[in-house]
Chain A
Amino acid sequence: MGAGTPSASLVARVAALAVVMVFLQTGVISEVPVFGVAIDLSPLVVAFVGLQCGSVTGAATGFGIGLLVDLTLLQTLGLTSLIFTVIGYGAGRLRELRDPQAALTPLLVGAAAATASMVGYSLMEFMLGVDAPVSFELLRQIVVGVVLDTAVALPVWVLVRRWLEPTLPDDPRRRRRRAYTTGGLSPLSRT
C-alpha cells in the first residue's frame, strides 16, 4: 500500500457511509422541511470525509456520493458529482495545508460546504438554462439552507469522525497532539 492510499477497510466504511446517508437523505430528511427547506447532509458528509481523510479520498467520495444521488433521484448525471468532487477536494486540502484543530472548524467547513453546494447548483442550473422566472426568494432559501446545514454540522462531524477514525492510518501530528494533551510530552510529566 503506497503512502496516502486509502486502506480497504476505509474504502468499505466510506462506501457504507455514502449508501446509508443517501437513503437516509432521500427517504427521510428531504421529506421533513424546516422553514420550507430540507436539510442536505450530502455536502456535509463529503466535506467531513475530506477533512478527516485528505483531498484524494475527499474528492473520490464526493464523486461517488454525487453519482449515487444523481442516479437515485434521476437527476442530471454528473452535476452533483462535479460539485461534490470540488467540495471533498477543498476540505481535504484544508486538512493537508492547515490541519485546523479549533472546535469551530467543522461548523465553518460545514457552512462553506453547504454554501458551495447551493451556490454551485444554482450557477450550474443557470448555465444549463433553467426556463423559469427566478425570485429573490431563492436567496432566502439558500441562506436558510446554509444555516440549517450549519446547525447540524457538529453532530454530523462527530458521527463521521467516529465512524472513520478506527480505519485511518495513525497520523504523527495527531499522535503528537494526543501525547501533549494527555501529558506525554509535557515537561511536568518528565519530573
Chain B
Amino acid sequence: MYDKTVRRRRAVLVALVALSLILLTAYFGESPNGRLHAVQRDFLTVVSPIQEGANAALKPVRNMFGWFGDALHAKSQRDALRKQNARLQAELIGREDDERGYHRLLQLYHLDGGLHISDYRPVTAGVTAQAPNIWYATIDIDKGTSAGVQVNDPVIDGEGLVGKVTQAASDGAQVSLITDSSVAVSAMINSTGAPGLVLPKVGDPNTLLMQYLPANTPVSVGEYVVTSGTISSRGPSLFPRGIAIGQVSSVSEEAPYKTVEMHPLANLHGLETVQVLTATQGSAPARTSSVAAALPLGQSSEPGGGSGESQLASTGSGG
C-alpha cells in the first residue's frame, strides 16, 4: 500500500514536470503562428469578456489600493511638479514666439503636411490584465483584430509610449510594455535629435536605458527622450516619431558610446486605458514609411542619417 502511494506520487510529479517541459519546448520552438500560440489566442478571446467584467467589478478595490499608494507619493510628487511647472512656464514663454515663426514659415512654404497621432487611426482599449512578475512586463487589452489591432502596432497613453502589440486575438491582444525584455525602441534626445536605442533595464521595471548615443552628444538630466520613428528595409513600420518615452535621470560615459538612464513617462503600473495606433497598409503613415524605407542608405529622412537605418533595421523586436 505504501509502495503504491509512493509510486503514484512520483508518477504524478514526473508526468506534470514532463508535460511542462514538453509545452515549454514546443512553445519556444514554434513560430508565433504555431498551434500553441493559437490556443493561447483562442483562450484570450474566451476569457477577455470575463476579464473585462471582473475588472469593472474589481475597479473600486484597485482604486482603493491605488489611493493609498498615491497618497504616500503625493507630497514628493507635488514638490517635484511645482519645480517642473516653474521651469516649463519659463520655457513655454520663450518657445511661443519660436512657434509662431515656425508656423508662419510652414504656411509660407506649404509644408504643413506632417503626420499627427490621429492619422495613425488610434483605437482606444481597456486594460484587462497585467503580468505579476518582473520578467514579463505585459498587459492584456480588450481590443483585438476585430477592431483593427495587429501585431507590432504601437501602444500609447496620454503620457507617452506604453509598448507594442505582440499577440492579437479577435477580441483581445497582448501588449509588451517598453520595460519588457523583448522590446527595444529607436529613440532620440528631443532637444538635439541625437539617436539611440531604448532598452529595458531588466529587473528594474521603473527604469529604461538609452544606449548607443554618440559619445560627444550633450545630454543632461531632465531632458526628454522621444521615439525617432522606425524606417526599416525589412518592411514598413508604423512607429510614429515624436512620442514621449521618458525623462533622463542619469548619464554615464562608456566610450565610444554614451548611455543614459531614464524613467518612463507613462505610468506603466496603473494603466487602465491605452490607445493602439492601427494605421494599416495604404494609409498615409504607411506610404510615408515605405517611401523612406526604399531610400538607399545615407538618404534617410530621419535625423541621424544613414546610421539610423542600419541600426533601426537591426532591432527586430523594436519599433
Which A residues form the contact surface with B (CB < 8 A)? 3-4, 23-34, 36-40, 42, 55-56, 59-60, 62-63, 66, 70-79, 81-82, 85-86, 89, 117-118, 121-122, 125, 128, 130-142, 145
Contact = CB atoms under 8 A, between A and B. Distances in A.
B201 A135 contact: yes
A82 B21 contact: yes
B129 A40 contact: no
Overall SS of chain A's interface? helix
17 contacts: A23-B54, A32-B65, A37-B205, A38-B132, A38-B133, A55-B9, A71-B44, A72-B43, A74-B41, A81-B16, A81-B23, A85-B13, A117-B133, A125-B135, A138-B134, A142-B134, A145-B134
B122 to A, nearest CB: 22
B176 to A, nearest CB: 9
B201 A137 contact: yes
A40 B19 CA distance: 24
B94 interface: no
Contact of A31 (B5, B19, B182, B270): B270
Nearest to A131: B181
Contacts of B102: none
A85 B16 contact: yes
Interface string B171-212: 000100000011000000000000000011111111101000
B134 A141 contact: yes
B245 to A, nearest CB: 16
A28 B61 contact: yes
Given A55-B9, A56-B8, A72-B47, A82 B62 contact: no
Nearest to A38: B132
Given A28-B61, A134-B203, A137-B204, A77 B131 contact: no
B34 to A, nearest CB: 10
Contact of B203 (A39, A81, A131, A141): A141
B131 A73 contact: yes
